[in-house]
Amino acid sequence: MNALHALPEWAAILVALCLLAGALITLAGTIGLTRFPTFYQRIHAPTLGTSFGAAFILVASMIYFSVSEARPVLHELLILIFVTITTPITLMLLARAALYRDRAEGHDVAADAVEAERGETTGH
């Protein structure tokens, strides 16, 4: 018998639910990346998908290995802290670089965003 068969039913259900939630949230972020019209809108969805999706998947890993090894396994907390800190910083740096580039090229970012919003609502 392997560790998967020795896992209690409550833990297996909890791990499965956390994995499913993490996968769905990550999928939603990925779909948002492809569906939003502007770069500034696109960078928001995967950031949330990465942070929250990874959190649920890491919680599932913590539960599985803590129950199967009969001791607390908290290594995943370091990964979660790293992802939580680095993802927003990366988002901010990407947005600032894009904004700098757009301003250097003479694009009015605010007007482009309004135009994209109007085109999205009118179906153009």
Task: Categorize the per-residue pLDDT at 24 as very low, low, confident or very high, splitting at 50, 70 and 90.
Answer: very high
| Highest-scoring range by mean pLDDT, 15-19, 43-47, 106-110, 119-123 | 15-19
pLDDT value for 113: 65
Cα–Cα distance for residue pair 124/121, rounded to 1 Å: 8
Q: How many domains does the chain have?
A: 1
For residue 47, which amino acid is it? T
Range with lowest mean pLDDT among 14-28, 35-49, 68-82, 86-100: 35-49
User: With contact defined as beta carbons under 8 Å apart, do 11 and 63 qualify?
Assistant: yes
Please name the helix (run of DSSP H) or strand (run of DSSP E) that holds residue 84, with its range, or none.
Answer: helix 75-104
Greatest extent of the chain over all pairs of C-alpha atoms, in Å: 66
Model confidence pLDDT, tens digit, residues 39-86: 888 888 888 888 899 999 999 999 999 998 888 888 899 999 998 899
pTM for this one?
0.75
Q: What is the pLDDT of residue 71?
A: 87
d(CA 29, CA 45): 5
- 56 closest CA partner among 91, 93, 90, 29: 29
In the chain, the percentage of residues whose pLDDT exceeds 90 is: 38
Residue pair 19/60 in contact by the 8 Å Cβ criterion: yes
Range of the domain at 10: 3-122
- What number of residues does the chain have? 124
Greater pLDDT, 46 or 113 = 46
Rg (alpha carbons) of the chain, rounded to whole number: 20
